[in-house]
């Protein structure tokens, strides 16, 4: 399908979670580039990686009550749609064999940004890390830049990395993730970096420690109806933009991802797959504050049973 068109009177950037319309999503699995090698496979690693890039997928008519559940179901539907389209175009033998490294991609899935329009657009992203590997950040950013045809992202917000049960998020735990983001800023892959769901105390600790300061902090609407006064005062003093969101704590859980795989490619040993990271991007028209296109990119990994 063709790229999504802008809508008159569209939502602004800080209302991205409440957009109504059509969205893109899809799946790419690590290996050769399909444009050069078709859906070729080869085995050189004990693990497999799935990466998802967008094919168009319908959104629910509205995201109001049950928004969190709607977002999760929407993402799963996008994954299933993309896998269904991909698997219908390849040899059944390829799916049945499920080699250790496999790539699937849909050429029409994503709209690259025209270089002549780049200065008129802002490319924003929010990254959800499912594992504990901070190097996933660089991989996610590089893949998004490549998919969209840009050299850098204008802003990246990172959701709080998952912690073990009973362990609260601490500055020490957050530091390696933020350091990776700082490296990407220094290497001009990202312009500005932000946080999500940090209270005033944690945001202040990060701000004082970081070399590259957070430019924004998202606050979950489910956790508060009014911005905490201490957080508001701190953000105002240090010029940190406060945004709202309604993302669930776990946008795509392992069980949900495996269910999407099971319904699309039942022969792929779904219990061996787990999502590693998920990135949601938005391409925004600066002059109008309207989201031109939006999609997901994800990576999952298969660890074969011994």
CA distance 190 to 187: 8
Concatenated DSSP letters of 45-75: -S-EEEEE--EEEEPPS--BTBHHHHHHHHH
CA distance 221 to 195: 15
Per-residue pLDDT, 104: 54
> Which residue, among 71, 55, 53, has the nearest Cα to 63 in the 3D structure?
71
pLDDT tens for the 306 residues of the chain, in order: 333 333 333 344 433 322 222 234 333 333 222 222 222 221 222 234 444 444 333 332 233 334 445 557 778 777 888 788 777 776 666 555 555 545 555 656 678 999 999 999 999 999 998 877 888 899 999 989 998 999 999 999 999 887 777 788 899 999 999 999 999 999 999 999 999 999 999 999 999 999 999 999 999 877 666 788 999 999 999 999 999 998 887 787 788 888 888 887 777 777 888 888 899 999 999 999 999 988 888 888 877 776
- H/E element, 290: strand 290-302
Q: Residue 83, CB half-sphere, CA atoms under 13 Å: how many?
A: 25
281 touches 138 (CB < 8 A):
no
Per-residue pLDDT, 105: 56
277 touches 140 (CB < 8 A):
yes
Triad 286, 287, 293: Cα angle to 5°: 45
Q: Are strands 22-25 and 55-58 parallel, antiparallel or unpaired?
A: antiparallel
**Size of the chain in residues:** 306
């Amino acid at each position: 399908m063709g790229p999504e068109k802008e809508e008159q009177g569209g939502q602004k950037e800080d209302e991205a979670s409440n957009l109504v319309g059509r969205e893109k999503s899809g799946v790419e699995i690590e290996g050769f580039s399909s444009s050069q090698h078709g859906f070729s496979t080869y085995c050189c690693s004990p693990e497999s990686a799935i990466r998802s890039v967008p094919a168009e997928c319908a959104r629910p008519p509205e995201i109001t009550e049950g928004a969190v559940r709607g977002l999760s179901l929407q993402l799963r539907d996008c994954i299933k749609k993309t896998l269904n389209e991909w698997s219908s175009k390849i040899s059944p033998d390829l799916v049945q064999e499920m080699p250790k490294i496999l790539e699937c991609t849909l050429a029409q899935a994503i709209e690259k940004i025209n270089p002549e329009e780049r200065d008129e657009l802002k490319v924003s992203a929010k990254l959800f890390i499912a594992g504990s590997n901070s190097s996933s950040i660089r991989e996610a950013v590089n893949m998004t830049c490549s998919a969209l045809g840009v050299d850098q992202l204008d802003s990246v917000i990172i959701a709080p990395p998952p912690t073990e049960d009973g362990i609260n998020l601490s500055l020490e735990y957050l530091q390696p993730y933020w350091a990776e983001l700082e490296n990407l800023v220094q290497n001009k892959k990202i312009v500005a970096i932000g946080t999500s769901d940090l209270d005033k105390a944690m945001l202040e600790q990060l701000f004082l420690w970081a070399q590259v300061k957070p430019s924004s902090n998202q606050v979950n609407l489910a956790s508060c109806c009014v911005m905490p006064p201490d957080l508001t005062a701190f953000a105002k003093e240090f010029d940190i933009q406060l945004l709202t969101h309604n993302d669930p704590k776990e946008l795509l859980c392992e069980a949900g991802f495996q269910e999407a795989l099971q319904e699309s490619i039942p022969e792929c040993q779904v219990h061996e797959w787990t999502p590693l990271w998920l990135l949601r991007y938005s391409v925004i028209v600066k002059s109008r504050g309207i989201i031109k296109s939006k999609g997901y990119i994800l990576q999952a990994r298969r660890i074969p049973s011994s």
